[in-house]
Amino acid sequence: MVAKISLGNSLYAALTYNTEKINKEKGRLLDTNKIYNDGSGSVNTHRVYEDFQRWMPAHTKTERPMMHISLNPHPDDRLSDTDYTRLAHEYMQKMGLGDMPYLIFKHEDIDRHHIHIVALRVGTDGKAVSDKNNFYRSKDICRELEKKYGLKPAERQRVSPDTPIMKIDPAGDLKRQVANTVKLVGMRYRFQTMGEFNAILSLYNVKAEQTDGRVNGREYHGLVYFATDDNGKVIANPFKASRLGRFASRAAIDGRFERAKKEIDDKALAQRTKRIVASVLIRSSGKEDFIERLKAEKIDVVFRYSAEGRIYGATFIDHNTMCVLNGSRLGREFSANAFEQRFNEGPVIDTPVVPVQNIPEDNARTVGNENRNQTDSDSSRSQSQPQPEARTNSRHGHVQTDNSDYMPSIPGLDLFQVGPGYDPEEEAFYRAMQRRKKKGRRPKF
């Protein structure tokens, strides 16, 4: 069983978060301690908040007087409501919080059912229950309860460079899968634009979309993520980046753009990809043959099509160098217009493909700089084209587009730790609670 503990100063926010789960029929109130409970499984937020205030001391130096705990058994454990309730009460008793007011919620919004506990950690005398070594005490208690109730041991699973990236399974936990994909893609691949970012995401049935606007007079710039099927059709409501984690935020992705530019330029990685693509293109009899031959070289190509079927974008994903590159970055002969002419209109006359000679590493940077000036204009022209939704052709492994299933960005919609104790929405909630703390101001209850 994995326990996650968060301290906060906004009791009302914690209550609202859990109450919204209940209102959406994705959870229920199991039990309470020293707080009103009518036994219906629902919660009157205002009534419960008033009950908590009765136990709150008039004066306390504790800046974060409440705590939010999630208890997450192993996904294979199937517990009844009675089991969850007993587990929660015993956990609180062993943590020294058995006499504090608290509520026990069960969350059922994902396949892995789990419980949340909202509690005060300050007594009527104004003194807080010690949180010293909370992490180690909690871990020992979880191991003890697992043995007592015959539960399977569960530990937080951390993402590593060896963790495989999997395509979205529509039957699974979509939030968690999207979070996995975005985090792992960001850890491993280098990309410099949203188009390149989406090209690599599309291989795993995920796409990202920028959201810009104003809310209550404040300007915002964010990202939302979509889970799709093999045809690129959206299969669920979008997830805000904040529900995935900081690694998925627009600021984080923009930072990856900047780092990728330096890394690709410094290592002349584009030249390595260019040599392979040029060699394959010369030997290819057509588009499908070109795609298959590249796959044999561990390079995926993503073509983007207009509504009329015209190629307006081409992006190469080199799994050898872990670089994602728009075709125009490699040279004019690899731009969208060149491929459109070669594959849809006939052989290319004015932009012949010339095999790229092996370039010594010492000279690779110079060559990359010469090509960059030539390709910048092509890249900007390609990005100025409209961007209909990418759709993967499962037969041939490349991406097509279809405007009919396109979902526009929806400003304001809500959205990492992987494993049985991870829930992206909970992670976002914990971070929000930490931000509520403001120095020099009296805590809000």
Rounded CA-CA distance 185/208 in Å is: 12
Task: Identify whether residues 247 and 312 lie together within a single domain.
Answer: no
**CA count, 13 A, side-chain hemisphere, 66:** 28
Specify the number of domains making up the chain.
3
Task: Identify whether residues 286 and 424 lie together within a single domain.
Answer: no
For 268, counting Cβ atoms within 10 Å of its Cβ (0-12 exposed, 13-18 middle, 19+ buried), the class is: buried
Does 193 reside within a domain? yes
Task: Identify whether residues 10 and 153 lie together within a single domain.
Answer: yes
Does 165 reside within a domain? no
- What pLDDT does 19 receive? 85
Does 353 reside within a domain? yes
Task: Identify whether residues 131 and 115 lie together within a single domain.
Answer: yes
| Lowest-confidence segment of 52-56, 67-71, 164-168, 367-371 by average pLDDT | 367-371
- Residue with the bigger pLDDT between 396 and 189: it is 189
Query: Do residues 241 and 209 lie in contact, with contact meaning Cβ atoms separated by under 8 Å?
Result: no
Task: Identify whether residues 100 and 144 lie together within a single domain.
Answer: yes
Task: Identify whether residues 144 and 59 lie together within a single domain.
Answer: yes
| Lowest-confidence segment of 57-66, 109-118, 371-380 by average pLDDT | 371-380
- Residue with the bigger pLDDT between 215 and 213: it is 213
How does the average pLDDT of the chain come out, rounded?
Answer: 79
Task: Identify whether residues 153 and 6 lie together within a single domain.
Answer: yes
> Pick from 37, 55, 47, 49: which is nearest to 11 by CA?
49
Band (pLDDT 50/70/90 cuts) for residue 417 is very low
Task: Identify whether residues 333 and 354 lie together within a single domain.
Answer: yes
Does 407 reside within a domain? no
Residue 387 has pLDDT above 70, yes or no: no
- Residue with the bigger pLDDT between 268 and 30: it is 30
Mean pLDDT of 35-44: 89
**Which long-range contacts does 256-259 make (Cβ < 8 Å, 24+ apart)?**
256/186, 256/190, 256/191, 257/191, 257/192, 257/193, 259/190
- Residue with the bigger pLDDT between 438 and 24: it is 24
Task: Identify whether residues 243 and 185 lie together within a single domain.
Answer: yes
Q: 126 lies in which domain range?
A: 2-157+419-435
Task: Identify whether residues 390 and 424 lie together within a single domain.
Answer: no
Amino acid at 62: T
> Pick from 118, 92, 90, 120: which is nearest to 105 by CA?
118
- Residue with the bigger pLDDT between 186 and 419: it is 186
Domain-ending residue, one of 209, 240, 257: 257
Task: Identify whether residues 237 and 149 lie together within a single domain.
Answer: no
The string of pLDDT tens digits covering residues 270-322 is 899 999 999 999 999 999 999 999 999 999 999 999 988 999 999 999 999 99
